[in-house]
Structure 1
Amino acid sequence: MAASPLSIGLMAASGLVLFLYAVSRLALALRHVAGEKTKDYLHRFTRSIPAAILTGTIVTTLLDSSSVVIILVIALVSAGALPFRNSLGVVLGANIGTTISSQLFAFDLGQYAVLAMLPGLLLLSLSKKRNGRTTGRALFCFGLLFFSLFLIGEAAAPLKEYEGVQAWLLKLENPIRGAGAGALITLVVQSSSATLGMVIKLAAKGLLTLPAGIAVMLGAELGTCSDTLLATVGRGRPAVRTGLFHLGFNLISISLGLLLIQPFTALVLTLAGAADVSRQIAHAHVLFNVAGVLLFAPLLPFCQRLLEAVLPDEETAPKAATLSPARA
């Protein structure tokens, strides 16, 4: 008996809710584990562009969220603890670090999620030390992350029987439509990782093609700028410049990606043609973000000067001359 649309929707929604919960709690737990060391590393190891990119990549991989890292960087820049010029390389590195998640999502680890969830639950319940409980929470949420994606994949499997759904998913091969869908989904769920996770699971079930997956991935990269831009509200101009750089980097790289989507798709097929579609999409995510970083890295000094000219610090901004009226 075919699953009803209601049961499919409820199961998929349950998986998505669990995923969003796991992502937020995992990022919070990992930040607690890292503590003040994260801020110290961001300050100490970002003095050159290659070091800043590498630091952003490593910290994002460890914290499992580019948004968390970029928001943290914006806060540090706003507080004067991190120079604006150092933040640019970290933003680029965060875009590489976030691709590690998509590589992990392409593995079918949902059935093994209990191997992380059970020890995590035991640590969370039995440990008397805060660090032990935090580590347990991180382990549990890490397992929950993959279990929630497993639920989404299982919910999506029956959609093969619905021709209307298949026809709509095929329309996502149109680059603009696919990117628009990716951006909208990411704006709604406030997580590009959730969008990419769903894309990879749909592809694994044979519901999404590589061109459609790449188009949605490009849109998700744009949608993730929303929370980092919100983090700049009420902060000083150096922090706003960091948020604008993140937006500009994504806008330019995504525009180039959409313009070159056909040769880019062909390149992904050449490099990863033997892999299944879900793995191809994960590889495309890595290739796209690394290419964007390689394109922008030499331009960082120019980007710094441009943003400082467009949005100068308050104390250096030119003051308008006040003219007193001449007396007769």
Structure 2
Amino acid sequence: MNSSVLAIILLGLSGLVLFLYAVSRLSLALRQVAGERMKSILDRFTKTVPMAILTGTVVTALLDSSSVVIILAIALVSAGALPFRNSLGVVLGANIGTTISSQLFAFDLGQYAVVAMLPGLLLLTWSKKRRGRTIGRALFCFGLLFFSLFLMGEAAAPLKEYRGVQAWLLKLENPVRGAGAGALLTLVIQSSSATLGMVIKLAAKGLLTLPAGIAVMLGAELGTCSDTLLATIGRGRAALKTGLFHLAFNAICITLGLLLIGPFTALVLRLAGHADVARQIAHAHVLFNVSGVLLFAPLLPLCQRLLDAWLPEPEPAAKAAATPPKPQPTLAA
């Protein structure tokens, strides 16, 4: 293998590994700072559909992970702390909240990563309080997130010289092929944010067109359903219905997106034609997810009835029959 190609691969993989590490540690740190509060917020502010959507959006923006918020909602539904009907709005809101990440990725902030990493490292090293160290870890990982994107962008820049790579990337303009690549990549690395980050950086380097970027983005939306479905295993029917709603919502929206990808791309160009391709893809992510939420929000009562009819809750009598009787204590002779 050519040494320059090997250097590109190693630099790109290094950036990807750092990105995945930063995302997981950032999410963990943010949950440690505000995890219990988020549980009470989800329980308290999800009584109506608009409030549930708004709460899901805000919590996802704060925790920087739609998967974490949806899995948290599934866990609360399973524990009986969150009604199934309320969780549907949280799922929709999480899909809006995750678009904030794509907007941040479109900014070229890698060269300023040290502004967050240095104070974060100082807090992590010198703070005597656990909360201070946790905040330091969150700051450090936030900066590391953008530094890793910078590394992936630097690795992608020389790919312009390789016609084979350019030809393969152009093939992703085919909606089905692009969506398949996005879904597969997201399944492998278990992070739609990483997939979208790479797409935005490739577009910023002139290697990916807007139609190809939108197609891969649609596939990443489908790939992200895998971890939420896994979270429903063994958690009861109410939790399973929440996971299935997330899958159905994404599958229907993605199908519509693929069927209407031409008009949708034209709309993005009309609304954000002055921006570069990376920013256009970020705007497309926002427009697609918000449109899907606006489409589904009025249909939530219908979705709830359909899922309840398909997977009805066990009757109380059936539950009682399934529970073995407790042994009666015997008196000692």
TM-score range, shorter chain: over 0.9
The number of residue pairs the alignment matches comes to 318
SS at match of 1:300: helix
SS at match of 1:4: helix
Deviations 1:141-194 (A, max 9, x none): 000000000000000000000000000000000000000000000000000000
Structure-1 separation of matches of 2:95 and 2:318: 35
SS at match of 2:267: helix
**2:80 alignment counterpart:** 80
Structure-2 separation of matches of 1:3 and 1:124: 38
**1:244 alignment counterpart:** 244
Contact persistence 1:3–1:158 (CA under 8 A): no
Structure-2 separation of matches of 1:274 and 1:317: 63
Judge which range, 2-11 or 208-217, deviates more: 2-11
Deviations 1:294-316 (A, max 9, x none): 00000000000100000011226
Structure-2 separation of matches of 1:316 and 1:83: 17
Q: What TM-score results when the alignment is normalised by the length of structure 2?
A: 0.94
One-letter code aligned to 1:213: G
CA RMSD of aligned residues (A): 1.2
One-letter code aligned to 2:131: N
One-letter code aligned to 2:166: Q
List gaps (5 residues or longer) in structure 1. 320-328
List gaps (5 residues or longer) in structure 2. 320-333
Structure-2 separation of matches of 1:306 and 1:316: 21
**2:130 alignment counterpart:** 130
One-letter code aligned to 2:214: I
**2:272 alignment counterpart:** 272
Structure-2 separation of matches of 1:9 and 1:317: 60
One-letter code aligned to 1:214: I
One-letter code aligned to 2:177: R
Q: What TM-score results when the alignment is normalised by the length of structure 1?
A: 0.96
One-letter code aligned to 1:241: K
Question: CA shift at 1:18, angstroms?
Answer: 0.2
Structure-1 separation of matches of 2:292 and 2:70: 17
One-letter code aligned to 2:279: R
Identical positions, percent: 84
**2:228 alignment counterpart:** 228
One-letter code aligned to 2:267: L
**1:323 alignment counterpart:** none
One-letter code aligned to 1:116: A
Contact persistence 1:179–1:220 (CA under 8 A): yes
SS at match of 2:315: helix
Structure-2 separation of matches of 1:210 and 1:131: 42
